[in-house]
Amino acid sequence: MNLYSGLQKVTHNFCILLGGALLKERALTGPQRVLLDITDYCNYNCMMCREHSPLSPSKFSKGVSDLSPEKNTSFKLQKMDVDVYYQLIDDLKKVGTREINISGGGEPFTHEKIIQMVEYAKKNRFNITITTNGSLLNEGISEFLVDIGVNALYFSINAGSSETYMKVTGKRQSGLFEKVKANVRTLAFIKRKKKQKHPKLMLSFVISTQNYFEIKDMIRFAIESGVNRINFVPVVSYFERASFLDLSSEDIKVLQKDIKKAQYFATRHGLMHNMNEFIQWLSMKESENLRNFYPQISCYVGWFLSLILANGSVMPCCQCMKIMGNIHERSFLEIWNSPVYRQFRKESKNFALRNKALFNCQCSKCSLVPTNLIFHKILHPLKPMHMGEKELTARLKGKVAIQ
Ligand code: SF4
Ligand code: SF4
């Protein structure tokens, strides 16, 4: 990061905080990070996937029927039109967004225009990160990603062995796990050959009952394929039928032991990781602290992040399928400070009141707890996180408003 972009980032964060602290529901600057689904198509059917899981109540329901009645409409697979995308990039530039993560609803490399899309965003000086299952990469694409300077690639692997990989991804194709591993390795090799620092390569593992016992194999995968970092993410079961994926207390105990050993193994090989945060999350989950977390602090997601689906719908986060607007109807600039978005910010800021509008969000399984905690500590340095049982109960009943 150079001095200019460092200063830009500090100013941006300051504006987000100021917006959250003083102006309540108006954002002074755009979301720092945008998660952008350019397509809903995917060549996999992962168990834990919000969109493509065979466990979804209605396949391609976008998984929202468990989340929000307002979005329980029949869902069609969509690809973002390239002109709509260009307009969005122009708008995000105006609003001050810095990072775009091409991710989410499907596999980005199934979109035939992905090369042009990445080129346009890089030309407009965005930090671009891409989340992919890695199965469609080839040498040509890898060369392009290195040459254009994509900032990071996040590979969703979610297994430590071929057998688990087939089970988790729904692809009964032997050799696929090895193929993906070879693709990651090729990209790492091209990067080294061209003496480039980017893209940073990261493996991501959603940890569930199906794979928690393979932590060490996952780390071995990362070391052998030459990536920079490994991240563990707790599973979020979006559907009732997927609840068997949630870790039990017993699983968590086993995992806690394994992960401490794995941490040592990863550090010894110079692999960056998020195991400290993951351990923290595991202990919170085990003691059920997560359920009581948001009555104690606010959610600031409405200031720092936005999710845009391939059909153009703008959402506040992945676990809260409330539509803020659609970029086919209004510009992102208009949507970002529209009455609907401002209302959402007001409600998420006052979590203690358990706003009805947020009942359908999966806040009790929120994966943005660490980020919200950072904002809370900066904005309310003197406010204790662990309040007494009596006050907490009163807040849960909505009797005491949060400041
Ligand atoms: S690869 Fe990603 S988008 Fe595709 S099914 Fe798996 S989790 Fe979903
Ligand atoms: S799921 Fe998390 S980030 Fe989303 S609205 Fe709820 S608390 Fe905020």
pLDDT digits (tens, 9 = 90+) for 27-82: 888 899 999 999 999 999 999 988 888 887 755 444 443 334 344 444 568 899 99
Going from the Cα of 162 to the center of ligand 2, the distance in angstroms, rounded, reads 34
To the nearest whole percent, how much of the chain has pLDDT over 70?
A: 79
Q: Is the CB of 310 under 6 A from ligand 1?
A: no
pLDDT greater than 50 at residue 262: yes
State if residue 37 touches ligand 1 by the CB under 6 angstroms criterion: no
> Which of the residue ranges 161-165, 302-306, 344-348, 376-380 would you say has the lowest mean pLDDT?
376-380
Q: What's the distance, CA 177 to chain centroid?
A: 23
Task: Evaluate: CB of 205 within 6 angstroms of ligand 2.
Answer: no
Beta carbons of 269 and 223 less than 8 angstroms apart: yes
How, if at all, do strands 33-36 and 272-273 pair? unpaired
State if residue 362 touches ligand 2 by the CB under 6 angstroms criterion.
Answer: yes
Contact 315, 372 (CB under 8 A): no
Is 310 in contact with 37 (CB distance < 8 Å)? yes
pTM above threshold 0.85? yes
* Cα–Cα distance, 130 to 184 (Å, whole number): 13
Q: Tell me, what amino acid is at 158?
A: N
Locate tokens 């992945």: which residue? 318
* Alpha carbon distances (Å) from 205 to 160, 211, 230: 9, 9, 8
308 alpha carbon to ligand 2 midpoint, in Å? 16
Three-state SS string across 295-345, please? CCCCCCHHHHEEEECCCCEEECECCECCCCEECCCCCHHHHHCCHHHHHHH
Q: In the structure encoding, which two tokens stand for residue 80, read together?
A: 């973002």
Fill in the amino acid letter for 358.
L
The pLDDT, as a whole number, for residue 63 is 41
What are the residues facing 306 on neighbouring strands?
A: 34
The mean pLDDT value of the chain amounts to 84
- As a whole number of Å, the CA-based R_g of the chain is 21
Q: How far apart are CA 290 and CA 279, in angstroms?
A: 14
Atom of ligand 2 nearest to the CA of 300: 8
Q: For residue 365, what pLDDT band results from cuts at 50, 70 and 90?
A: confident
**Can you tell me the mean pLDDT for 153-168?**
96
> Using 50, 70 and 90 to split pLDDT, how confident is the model at 251?
very high
- d(CA 263, CA 257) in angstroms, rounded, equals 10
